[in-house]
Chain A
Amino acid sequence: MQIITKMHVFILLGAMIFGGSVQANQTKLSDTQQKGLDIATEAERRNDGFIDNRAKLTMILRNKRGDTSTRLLRVRTLEGENDAVDGDKSLMIFDSPRDQKGSALLTYSYKFKPDDQWIYLPAAKRVKRIASRNKSGPFVGSEFAYEDFNTPVVEKYKYDYLRDEQQQEQDCYVIERYPLDKYSGYRRQVVWLDKQEYRVLKIDFYDRKNSLLKTLTINDYALYSDRYWRANNQAMINHQTGKSTELKFSDYRFKTGLRDVDFSINSLKRAR
C-alpha cells in the first residue's frame, strides 16, 4: 500500500501546483475508484525500469472504402529519470510519406503538467514548438490523436473499476479512466487489461459528448528482456467516420544506450 500513499501525495501536490484545476479525489476514494487506481498503478509499475527502447512503426491508414495509405516511422523512448515528476521522453522520426521524410516530433511528458512538444521541419531547417493544448488533434491524418501516442501517465487520469470480463479469450479487468487534462479530446476511456500481465488489450474512447468515438484493439504482444510486454499490433477504428488506422511495431530493442542528449532540441535537427 506504500505506492498508493505515494500516489496520494502526488495527486495532492499536483492539486496544489495547479490551484485545484486538477479535479482529483484527494480525500477518500470509493472502493471501485481505489481498485481502478490500483490496477492502473500496477500496470505502470510493471513497465518501470525499461530505461529506453527503439522500434520501427508502420502506420496503415484506411478510409471507409478500404483505400490505404502508409507511413513509416521510427520511435525512440527514454524513461523518465525522476519518477516523481518526469514522464518519458519520446522521439518519432518520419521516413515516409516522402514529402515528410526527415520530420521529427519530440515529446517530453510530465506527470503534473501538459507535455512539451517540438516538431522539426526539415525543408525550413526549423524546430517549432507546438502549443500544448493542441494534442487532441489527429496525428498525421490518422485515427490516433497525439495524446493517444503518449505513454499514459497514471497521474493524468482518475479511475473507476467497472467489472471483470473476457477479452481476446483472457480474463480482464475493465476500468474506466477520466482524463484530468481539460484539453483532452475525451470525456472517458474504458480500458481492458488482462489479469495475468496487466497488458492493455482494448480501449473504448468516448468523446467530450460522451458518445463512443473510437475503439483501440491491441494484440500480438511479445515479451522483451523477460519483463516488458510490447504489442506488435494496434488497430484503431473510428465508429463515427468508419475510418481506421493500424499500427505495426517491429524491431523492438531495449536498453540501447539512448541518453538525454539524444532527446534534446539540438538533436532534433539531426534525428535520423
Chain B
Amino acid sequence: MIGLTHYITDKKFMFISHFRAGLYVVLGCWLPAGINAAEWSAEVGFESSFYLHSGPQGQSKVHPSVRLEAEYYRDWKGGQESFTFSPLLVLDGQDSERTHWDIKELAWIHVDDGWEIRSGIRTVFWGVMETRHLVDIINQTDQVMNFDGEDKLGQPMVNLSIDQSWGTLDLYIMSFFRDRTFAGKDGRLRGPLIVDTDNPRFESGNNRNRIEGAIRWHQYFGDFDIAVSHFSGTAREPVFELQGALIGGTFIPNGMVTPVYPVIDQTGLELQYIYEGWALKAEAISHYGHAGRYNAAVFGFEFTQSGLYDSRIDLGWVVEYSYDEREEQAPVGIAEHDLAIATRWSLNDVESTEMLIGVIADESSDELVFFLEGSRRLGEYWKLIVESRIFVGGDPLPQDLPSVLTQLSNADPDNKLGYLQDEDFLRVELVRYF
C-alpha cells in the first residue's frame, strides 16, 4: 500500500514537473523577460445529484461526480501580454458521457492602445438576462454539466476587440466547432431517445472546420446599455434526426437520434436601462437557418431591495418573459411563451450566503418548473453549492419505443416537459479551492 501511494504521488509529481517543464519550454520561446505574475489556482468539486425517482429507462437515483478545474495565469510587460490555461476534468459515477474533459481557456491576450487581440481557446459571454441567455452564442453549451446550460466549452478563436469612445467593437474569427455534450444512456435529465454524440452531422461541407465569424458592438450612454451582434456559422444547438434502418420498406427506429448542426445566421440585440434599484432588460434574436427565419425575445426586469427592513439582506426580484415566434413548433425545452419569476436573497454575511428561488411557468399550459440555487462559503477554502429543480404539471411520457415515437411525431405543445416529470432533483456540491 505504502509503495503504491508512493508511486502514485511520485507519478503525480513527475507529471506536474514534466508538465511545467513542457510549458516553460513552450512559453520560453516567446516569453521575454520582465514577467510580472505567474500563478496556479485550482478547485475540486465533489458533487452528488439525488433524484426523487428512478429514471424512465431505469437510471439511478444517485449520481456522484468529481470535477477538477485548474488555471494557470501569467502576464508580462506590465499586464500588456497575458497567457491563461484552464483545463477541466469531470469524472461521473454513472454517466460515461458526463465523464469528460475540456480546455476552457488556452489563450494569449495582447493589449494595446484602444484595442486588444485575444487568440486561442476562450469563453465569451454575451447578454444581460438571468433566466435565459438568448443572444449568447460564441461558446458551445456543456449540457451534461448542468441543466441550466450555463456551463460552456472552450471555443478556439481570434478576437479583435476595439475599445473607443464610440463603443466596444468585437470581431471574432472561429473554427474547430465544438459538439454539444448530451447525457448518455445512464444519465438523467434527457429525453427518451439517446443522442448519438459519436456520429453528428453537419450542414457545412467543412464539418467542424468551417470558418465562422461574429461581430458585436456594445456601448453605454449613461444608464442605458446597448449591444448589437451578428453570428454566422454552425448552430450551437443541433436539430435531431431519428436513427433507424429500412427493413422491407419499413423504417425501424433504433432508439437513438443523430444531432445535426445546421449553418445559421443570427442577429442579436441586448438592451439594459438602469434606474435607481431597477434594471430593465431585453434580449432579442433573429435566427435564419435551414428552416427559414424566426425571431425570439426575452425581456423583463431585476429590482433590488437593498437592506431589506433595515437588515443586511438584499432581496432581488427577477421577472423575465420569453417569447419564441415559432410558438408550438418550437423544439422541446424552448420557452415559447414562458414567464420566470425569481427572488434572489443575498445575506451579505461573512460566508456570502446567496439563494435564488423561483419558478418558470408556461402561460398556456399548467407546466411549472421550480428552481433553487444556493451557495455558502465554509471557511476560506470551501464552498457549498446546492441546486434543485422540480417539474410540475406535465404528463410523463410513455416508455415503450413505439409509443415514444408516436408521442414525438405528434408532440403535445402543452406537454413539452413531459419527459422531465420524473427528473426532480437536488444537487449538492462541495468545492475545495487551492
Show the binding face of A for B, using Cβ within 8 Å: 61, 63, 69-70, 96-101, 124-126, 129, 131-138, 140-141, 183, 185, 257, 261, 264-267, 270, 272
Contacts and interface: CB of A to CB of B under 8 A. Distances in A.
B349 A141 contact: yes
Contacts of A126: 125, 127
Contacts of A101: 41, 433
B269 to A, nearest CB: 17
Given A61-B350, A100-B352, A266 B161 contact: yes
B109 A125 contact: no
Contacts of B431: 99
Nearest to B276: A133
Contact of B113 (A134, A135, A261): A261
A61 B352 CA distance: 13
Contacts of B220: 265
Interface in B205-263: 218, 220, 223, 225
18 contacts: A98-B41, A101-B41, A126-B125, A131-B276, A132-B276, A133-B277, A134-B277, A134-B304, A135-B306, A138-B312, A138-B348, A141-B349, A185-B307, A261-B111, A265-B220, A266-B163, A270-B79, A270-B109
Contacts of B82: 270, 272
A134 B303 CA distance: 10
Contact of B123 (A96, A100, A125, A267): A125
B114 A136 contact: no
A47 B5 CA distance: 60
Contacts of A134: 277, 304, 306, 314
Contacts of B150: 124
Given A98-B381, A266-B163, A69 B350 contact: yes
B37 A99 contact: no
B349 A270 contact: no
Is the contact region of chain B dominated by helix, strand, or loop, or is it mixed?
A: strand
A266 B116 contact: yes
Interface of B: 37, 41, 43, 73, 75, 78-79, 82, 109, 111, 113-114, 116, 123-125, 127, 150, 161, 163, 168, 218, 220, 223, 225, 272, 274-279, 302, 304, 306-307, 312, 314, 348-352, 377, 380-381, 383, 431, 433-434
Nearest to B434: A98
B168 A265 contact: yes
Given A131-B277, A136-B306, A270-B109, 13 more contacts: A61-B350, A69-B380, A99-B43, A125-B125, A126-B127, A129-B272, A133-B304, A141-B352, A185-B307, A257-B78, A261-B111, A265-B220, A266-B163
A85 B431 CA distance: 45
A136 B124 CA distance: 31
B376 to A, nearest CB: 10
B125 A129 contact: no
A266 B116 CA distance: 9
Contacts of B78: 257
Contacts of B383: 99
B319 to A, nearest CB: 15
A70 B111 contact: no
A97 B220 CA distance: 31
A51 B280 CA distance: 36
B208 to A, nearest CB: 23
Contact of B274 (A124, A131, A135, A138): A131
A135 B109 CA distance: 33
A185 B314 CA distance: 13
A70 to B, nearest CB: 7
Given A101-B41, A129-B272, A136 B352 contact: no
Q: Pick the 5 closest A-B CB pairs, nearest first.
A: A98-B433, A134-B306, A133-B277, A133-B276, A138-B348
Contacts of A69: 350, 380
Nearest to A63: B350
A137 B377 CA distance: 19
Contacts of B312: 137-138
Contact of B350 (A135, A141, A266, A267): A141
B306 A272 contact: no
Contact of B348 (A137, A266, A267, A272): A137
B420 to A, nearest CB: 24
A124 B349 contact: no
A99 B432 CA distance: 9
A141 B116 contact: no
A85 B381 CA distance: 43
A121 B82 CA distance: 19
B116 A137 contact: no
Given A131-B279, A134-B277, A98 B380 contact: yes
A108 to B, nearest CB: 11
B79 A272 contact: yes
Nearest to A183: B276
B218 to A, nearest CB: 8
A224 to B, nearest CB: 20
Contact of B304 (A125, A131, A138, A185): A131
A264 B352 CA distance: 27
B61 to A, nearest CB: 28
B168 A266 contact: yes
A183 B305 CA distance: 11
A129 B41 contact: no
Given A138-B312, A272-B73, A99 B274 contact: no
A10 B183 CA distance: 62
A206 B315 CA distance: 23
A211 to B, nearest CB: 11
B272 A141 contact: no
Contacts of B127: 126
Contacts of B348: 137-138, 141
